[in-house]
Amino acid sequence: MGSAQAWGYSGSSHNIDERLFELRRDAIALANQHDPIARVAALLLSIAQTNRYEGRDPLVVPRSLSSGFVADLLGLTVDGLADVLLELEARGLIEPGGSSTLRLRDVSALSALADAA
């Protein structure tokens, strides 16, 4: 059973993908609303989970989304998003990957940040 069906949702593939996106978006919005590091960590983990589900390397996050879109999604400024990414890199949790990617180095620590109260 797919994860969308596990949530009690059935329908076309497009509708399932749309519902999964909505669930992930809501989870990110609710995860530590006052902690930008937690929100960014939750987003990175959500992308990793999607990558795994779709058969891609879960530790490689493409930088295909614009920083303005991601910042807006997370309720941050572009500079605030850049600061958080630099902080996560300084902590050794992420690193620049190949062309246009980020590599997740410590998924457990990112999970702890995303789940922190």
Q: What pLDDT digit, counting tens, does each position of 61-107 carry?
A: 887 778 888 888 888 899 999 999 999 999 999 999 877 889 999 99
Q: Note whether residue 1 is domain-resident.
A: no
Euclidean distance between CA atoms 14 and 58, whole angstroms: 22
Is 76 part of a structural domain of the chain?
yes
- What pLDDT, in 10s, does the model give residues 19-54? 667 666 666 665 546 789 998 998 899 889 888 988
Helix axes of 36-53 and 107-115: crossing angle, nearest 10 degrees: 130
Looking at the predicted structure, is the pLDDT value of residue 13 above 50? Answer: yes
- Range of the structural domain that residue 104 is part of: 10-115
Q: Any idea what the CATH number is for the domain that residue 106 is in? A: 1.10.10.10
Contact status, residue 29 vs residue 42, Cβ threshold 8 Å: no
107 within domain boundaries? yes
**Residue 2 lies inside a defined structural domain of this protein:** no
Q: Is residue 64 part of a domain?
A: yes
pLDDT at 88: 97
61 within domain boundaries? yes
Q: For the chain, what is the domain count?
A: 1
